[in-house]
Chain A
């Protein structure tokens, strides 16, 4: 099952002298249960691709299909992108992922509330997810009371909460030391395997590439599949 398929994406920032061509005909696929890595030097367009797939920053050309359904074609949206974001896509970023004045538990429940799930079962679901990611005992803590690794686990729990087919993560381990970073990457794999979610992760850390099923490399707006290192 293809969770996400992107075909021939083009994205240009600015115009005239300041024009930057960030994506030049990028195509990629991520399947359900698959962990995909996006490698590449700074400024190569990784984040641009990820926010494109995340329907935050639609590329002006090309198509994006979510679960076999066309959601974007040449910059034109099919359906409500915000609604697709809150129900179909989980987001994890490098930092500032969580709402600072909500507890870990509330941060997870928030995304359920955004999806109009407000019942008592959201409490159990949030708690279960936090426990699943090993931060169950931290559920009442506020983000600033959590370590960087714990914050990312809470963020992953939140990304998982609406059971989306796709999770997008942009350098989620950049603020973590290598041990904790690796642990988080392994969590992504566990999530993909056990929940059947496709996970696309932008990373700079070559040491964790063995965790991924597929590795793409970005270079000046052009994406290519890299050799599997594992």
Chain B
């Protein structure tokens, strides 16, 4: 009926509290979606039709995969395949300045992919095949900054927004060769030890000769019997009109690789890499919804109990049951609406500060909105049952 003027402050405070609760439910939904989005972002961005990885692995994201050198060329020779490019990625953690920075290095296949399709917010795509990187701004690096990775220094030439790995680490885009150099870099001492090892191994073979030994001692010499640093996967694009099933069937016969469609690769990430976090968040969200339901019910029930006298008076004066029902329902809906508004406000201003992406679309807002509506309506029922049981003669007893 009339309003809640007197309890304005406590009502608002209650709504604010509920708003916080709803905001967390909202955040959980957003984090869930953000997780899925982050996980599949790179797969989507690379835009390959087929991902060819090491035989029987679920690489290159879910697990480590290395593919034999020359695989690109073998693939390019296949019918229906327009292009094949090598792809390397791995997450590294390095000290930059005083900060320990976790970043996921991604190789772009120069020269077709210079990063021009990346969502740049500052700077430019790669222009030089070496010593340039485009990094995600979440890493906190600035344009022109020099990153020392391994023996080389890389200049930050572009900043992207929202390019994160499935682990939530900022992406660093370099050319494929640079990426492999970064990822496979070894300290000089490690290389010295490796050379010693090669010499020792050479000693056990009939390749051993003074000249070979000399050559192996040379730091710049890479013996032809040793493979160059391997890529993690080969990205295949099909010719227009080519049948993906046919190409996949052809690749099935290859003994050294396994091929996935882009969708299969996404599923590997969702079912493998982020599966547990996803389930955990989903579960937490369900639990939180139940808790919200209980809290809302208790609040509305108590608000109704606090109005016992007024409700009894209304009934005594001959108010219809519908008036009493509306009174309780309105208070519930108002509380829900206020709480939800607070939640949206919080979402707008607070969530961007979260360390991981909170992705909220219409579906999330609508979903939580409906949930709130459902909760307050159900909770109001408890209040309504109570209100209808209040005897009007209660007024006379007081």
Q: Which residues of chain A have C-beta atoms less than 8 A from B396's C-beta?
A: 47, 51, 93, 170
Could you tell me the distance between the alpha carbons of A83 and B393 in the complex, rounded to whole angstroms?
Answer: 16
Q: Which of B296-334 contact A (CB under 8 A)?
A: 309-310, 313-321, 323
Within 8 A of A (CB), among B379-398: 392-393, 395-396, 398
B5 within 8 A of A: yes
Closest to B313 in A: A99
Q: A residues within 8 A CB of B395?
A: 93, 96
Binary contact readout A80-103 vs B (1 if CB under 8 angstroms, 0 otherwise): 001111110101010111011110
Interface residue? B99 (CB, 8 A) = no
Q: How far is the CB of B183 from chain A (nearest CB, A)?
A: 69
Q: How far is the CB of B321 from chain A (nearest CB, A)?
A: 8
Give A189 Cβ to nearest chain B Cβ, in Å. 23
Closest to A162 in B: B318
Tell me, in angstroms, the Cα distance from A106 to B148 when the chains sit together: 76
A-B CB contacts (within 8 Å), total count: 60
Chain A's nearest CB lies how many Å from the CB of B334?
Answer: 14
Interface membership of A56, Cβ < 8 A: yes
Are B1 and A96 neighbours in the complex by a CB distance under 8 Å?
no
CB pair B320–A57 under 8 Å, yes or no, is no
Residues of B within 8 A of A87 (CB): 318
- Does B317 lie within 8 Å of A86, measured CB to CB? yes
State how many angstroms separate the Cβ of A139 from the closest Cβ of chain B: 15
A97: B residues at CB distance < 8 A: 313
Q: How many residues of B contact A (CB 8 A)?
A: 24
Residue among B7, B310, B318 with max Cβ neighbours from chain A (10 Å):
B318
- Complex contacts, B309 vs chain A, CB 8 Å: 96
CB distance from A62 to the nearest CB of B (A): 18
Chain B's closest residue to A57 (CB) is B393
With an 8 A cutoff between CB atoms, is B3 at the interface? yes
B2 touches A56 (CB 8 A): no
Contact A82 to B6, CB < 8 A, known contacts A96-B313, A96-B398:
no
> A102–B317 contact, CB under 8 A?
no
User: Is A200 an interface residue, CB under 8 A from the partner?
Assistant: no
Cβ contact within 8 Å between A82 and B1: no
Partner-contacting stretch, out of A107-115, A123-131, A176-184, A217-225:
A107-115
Residue pair B323, A114 in contact (C-beta under 8 Å): yes
Given A51-B393, A114-B323, list of 9 further CB < 8 A pairs?
Answer: A82-B315, A82-B321, A83-B318, A93-B396, A96-B313, A99-B314, A101-B4, A114-B317, A114-B320
| Residues of A that sit less than 8 Å from B by CB | 47, 51, 56-57, 82-87, 89, 91, 93, 95-97, 99-102, 106, 110-111, 113-114, 170
- B→A interface (CB under 8 Å): 1-7, 309-310, 313-321, 323, 392-393, 395-396, 398
7 chain-A/chain-B pairs, Cβ below 8 angstroms = A56-B316, A83-B318, A96-B395, A99-B310, A99-B314, A110-B2, A114-B318
The 6 closest A-B pairs by CB, nearest first: A86-B318, A85-B318, A101-B6, A82-B318, A101-B5, A114-B319
